[in-house]
Structure 1
Amino acid sequence: MMRKRGLFFLVWIVVLLFSAQSFINGMTAIALTEDKEKNEQQLFDNEYGKASIQYQIKENHVDWQINIHKNDNKEPTRLTYSLQDVKDKAVILPTMVKDDQSSENLFEVKTDKSIADYGQVVEKEVSTAIKNDQIKFTTPVVSEVNLKISLNTKTDDKAEEVGFSKEYPITLVKANVTESTTIQSSLGSSTVESTATSSSEATKESTSGDVTNLGDADEATVDSAKKEAEKKYEETGRPQVITRSAADSLGFAGRTYANIEPQYITDNSGTYPEYSWIPDGNTNVINHQGKVGGGSSWDGITSWDGNQNNKKNSYIEYGGTRADADFAIRKYAKESTRSQGLYDVFLNIRGNVQKEITPIDIMLVVDWSGSMNDNDRIGEVKKGIDQFVNTLAASGISDKINIGYVGYSSPGYLNNTINLMPFKDAQQRIKTFTPNKASGGTFTEKALRDAQNQLSNGAKDHKKVIVLLTDGVPTFSYKPSSVKSIANAPKTLTEGEKYYADDSENTIIGQGNSSSLNGYYTYSPENGNRGNYVKNYPTAKYSENSTYVRVPNAFVATIGQAVKIKEAGTEIHSLGIQLNSDVNAGLTSEQVQNRMKQIATKSDSGVLYYETANKASGIANYFSNKAVQIIGTVSGGKVIDPIGKQFNYVTNSLEITSVAGSALIPNYTEPEKNGEIDINNLNLGKGQEIQIHYQVRINTEDENFVPDKWYQINGRTTFTPNQELPDNMVDFGVPSAKAPGTTIDLTKKWDEFDNNILGRSDLLFQVSRNEVPIGVLKITSQNEKSDDKNIWSREHVQKISAAQLPYNETIWLPKFDNQGNDFKYAISKELTELTNYESTKIDDNTWKNTKIFTPLSLKITKKDSITGSLLKGAEFAISGGDLSESTLLESIGDGTYVLPKNITLNKGKVYEVREAKSPEGYRMLNDPIRIEIDATGKVSISNKELSNANLTVSDNVITFDVPNKPKVPLPSTGGSGTWMYYLAGSLALVVVGGYLFYRSRNSKGVA
């Protein structure tokens, strides 16, 4: 008897050990074989550099290694660190390891207990860089230590200051399980799971921090996760546990990806991709290159045509290459041919089937009640199941899938089951299993129980999933005998029912047409015959305080069955089809929805596996989506694509299409003008790809717009492939675009009738765009043309000032508006008012300032034509124009003659000045001097005897010279000079006589 008991006990020990080992493989951290593997934890990665720590538990000590890399772009720093035993608060004195590493020579341990630095490991000299060094040391075995690490800065002769300092609690546990050690560390605090803990204890322990299980992820993914954990710990203060295991109990749902970060350049020309390509024929858009299979470099393709049907170029691939990639993403833009400033944006997302999926058991649980005939819901179910099966069949992993089907209504009506079996055996049966006609009530609780019984009989290491479809409230349930608070239900929403059934009798109860139990019948489980009627609500024992509470409806027991299923590790995915209110139960449609949601699984990451179909046609889509969601690499994926600040979304341009593999299009909403495009619940499997397309226009009308500057079309655009890992986002490459500017010219013409330019000054002009004032432009004497001082000109002006004061040319001139229409710029108004000038617009870019005419006076200077000396004694009279009579000019007495003060000359008139008397000994002008003042005030004079009159108009006075020639004097009769006249006359007679004699002889032939 004792031997049997001993054997029985031994068997149970083996079973428990096997179960514990399975639990460890699925739920704990890194399984480290003693003396062979190390656990590594990220310490920091910042502007000072980066560091991590490794530790390995040995028989009687712990081996430690700090990996340190200083950045050489900071001032000199000194690295120090120390360890403290958390349990007894004692300083741990490390022992440095001497090997071929240089770190032992660089650091020293402070061993003097009398100093405050006792136990610290200190870098002997400050340094600007330590490149990938390893600091190795040992400590006694402890369960939990506090590591403090600091970088002290030192410049010149100043004392050292702490530049960076942080403490890291680290928990170490050595557990002997089949000669292996399980170690799990966290940032901030630690979660340690021993193989001896029960499942409930392990669950409780693991919730003390945020756990990220990386499965068999590659090193790049692990490094990225460490950095993300460090960041998250700093933000939340919650412990961040990073674990890895050979087998992930959640299968593909636990896989994370290291983000392949696009790289950008920001300089004077804007922000744009560092590794880029430009669509053929485009000049105003630039896109980020792709990366094949997570390679070490970008693809190097710098140009292609940007055809949206191209499914080869510029993808960033994750988890493999080309068709083997887990998923691939691409984003690019190209210029529209329809309008300037319009850009087409394309995002492609391609999925795949999970390569290393945990074998999965699926039970379809489908409502066959009479209401499923409405709107041919049962017909849509048949279509949906057909698509569901076809998707699984084409996945390439159907050999890892078992499937079954529970069709249910109410006792005595149509209820049937296909037992769980390999997919290939069930495939055709499931396609034809759904009836053409439905009938009866809704006994959801029993259907869920039957499905779970099927799953419980399957392999223990398979993932278990129930897919539930129902169009109404449960109208039957088992009678609850005890209930618990919904707050204690795992993976269940709390909003809805307050209690769930913890235990039930085998008695079937219900009204048959409502979930209400305010008066109910009992039913036979064999044939569904109605039994006794009970007038009141049933009651059940509340386990928390042993009181009895009223059970208001069939949801209590149905949710209770769902909770038991979830506690067993099965996921429940459910679809509520056109759900209405339950009037008899006093439940609105929203309250019904909340209770249906309580049946579904709420995952640890907060994802609720519940959806609604407001139309019967949504049933088929749900099935197709669910199949992909279960086996695809993109499961409940999400795209976040914010519109860039310099761009406007074109209303109603968003469209999503399947470009490969009949991918299902998720529901989406139209974004705001400057909003964000959010695509949720994206499911993509093998060979499936969607394309998101929309248009944006560059906002050239923004006051901060700069022509020919690269602006990013979007903000950071991310893709989350798995809804269960909402923080595991990867980046699309973000394209940039630009738009040209234009210039404006300004010409200022000056016209002074008096040629006096002293009244000129700097001028401000109003600049208008499409007849709307937008700014100010200045022109100054610095802009005077070299060949014409009467023209100021500014050409090809790119910027104007926003205001007159302060004047600062900062406003650029875009070529076109937000709709792609060319702007029309004009100099619309002269803002500076000049005294004595009149401003006139010649054209959109030319203005003329004409000096305002002032009636003129006249000043004539009488001069000797030979010597230039002033002559007195002349008289001048002016007439014509608007003068009523001839008027003598007044002599000043020095040879100048002016108009009387009460007389002026006006524009548009012609005057004549006649010399009435000349100075003695001088000849008088024969003709009058004509003075013409035209309509602009310009003055001209004419007289054939005045070749150089020196005409000027200054200070409103017309001034010119009248030179006079002296008269030739004749000698007196009998004077001494008469002989000269006689001599000259005689000589003239001789010359003339000789000439005539000579001609006479020649005419007669005399030689």
Structure 2
Amino acid sequence: WGDHWGTYLTAVQIEQRMKLLASDDSSGNPLYDSAGSATDVTNYLNSQANDVIKNFNTINNGSISDPLGSQFNYNSDTADVKSVGSTPINSDDLPTAKISNGSLNVSNLNLGKGQEVQIHYQERINTESNNFVPDKWYQMNGATTLTPNGDDPSNQVDFGIPSAKAPGTTLTINKVWNMLPNDNNIPDSIDFTVNRGNTTDNNAWTQATGSLSKTQNWTGTFDKLSHNNSNVYLPKFNDHGQDFTYNLSEDNVAGFSSSINQVLNNFTITNNELGLAVQKFDSDGNSLTGSQFTLVKDTDNWQATDSSFTPESINGNDNPIPIKPGYYELKESTAPVGYSLDASTIKFQVTENGQWLDQQGTPISNNTLPSSDGFYVNNQNGNDILTYAKHDNIKPFTLTVNKIDKVTNQSVKGAEFQLTNSDTNQTIQPDESGDTATFTFNNLQPGNYVLSETKAPTDYAPLSSGINFSIDNTGKVTIPDGYDSNSELTAGNSNNTISLTVPDTPTPGQLPATGGPGITIILVTGLIIMITTAAGIIFISRRRWEV
């Protein structure tokens, strides 16, 4: 201003006079700043506002340190900050929240009366770590602190630390043994493997093991298993809150096949004992008794006999015997009476997982009785029985014909016979020729036959007709009544036998040499001489008796 409006004050004079109007601070300095421009005014006001905030805010340039709990993971690497107090905070003035290196850090936190901020982030409990324990309370954070004033970092306030837990699950496992008749040879314990699905961590376990034992009556409830020689629990859900899936597989039990039934987390393992049997049939499919087979075990690929295995005998059409994995040979050692021994060797394999393979390595899967010799899988009460079916023909027969006199039953020589197969019209001659009373016809197969006498002995009448007889596929021989005959099935390699006695009748009027059947005329001539002395009478008489 100027005196009497004529003289003006300088800028320095004005500043001096303004300072006289301003109050002094605690040091005696006037609370006055000069401003030469609008920008200077803005900067001054902002500075004063900061002073006000600093002096009147509850939290000034504060910070928060919030490390993650050891059993948790962050759901994402970002956090949301929201103003929720009665006095809103401008978005530009909200604090900064960052997640890195396993910790949440908040900076530039300024709060006054009625102001409140919420910091939102998510944590996931790490159920997939091997040391997780279900239903145990885990601290979600480490030591969480608030520094209210950035100018006084030694002044810190601790937050309360929340905790969380996650549920586990249990598996109930039951073992059923399905044994062959007359066998109870089971192990004392078995191992099983649990496979866990829906894992999200590549380092999380996916397989763990357990065991069942005879002393536990083959049942158990499991809330933890073994993994890498350490116990691991069975959480209900994974790190993302999805339910784990649990399924079961059993380590192979030698000599058994297994099946597993699962209802939720309840499992039943059924072990079916593997067996080997032999069935022996005749050509009509009728069962034969009396056969026996020998089982021998070999080394891999049948290279040599396994000396540690004691050969086993198997009776045909008998109960199966248990069998373990390996390479085997089967051979008939005793044939049924009346049948030939088959010395051929049948090879097969039982794999570790209970699969049957033939000598070529082809799986044996046929489950119906074959019409020719071969294997099939016969399921008996749940047990898979590898069964070798053997179909045999009856051995050939040897027919022996004996010629006798019908009356004296003495052998008579001089006859000739031939045999005709009625089915093929083949004529069979006896092995013998010449003067004999016995005739042998060899290697007769089942069928219909006619025995004909082509020449009768001298002074004997030939048979009026042939003798019809038959041999069926079971070895039964049928000969007409009135003939003395016998048939027998033989063991070993010799033929089965038929013996037939054919009586002949002497010709009428002929003296029998050795007697014979039919009407016999016997002439007896006697001489009676009577001599009478004194009277001189001599009487001679001949008589003949006929019977």
Q: Name the TM-score, length of structure 2 as normaliser.
A: 0.44
Q: Which has the higher strand share?
A: 2
Q: Greater CA radius of gyration, 1 or 2?
A: 2
Q: Which has the higher helix share?
A: 1
Q: Name the TM-score, length of structure 1 as normaliser.
A: 0.25
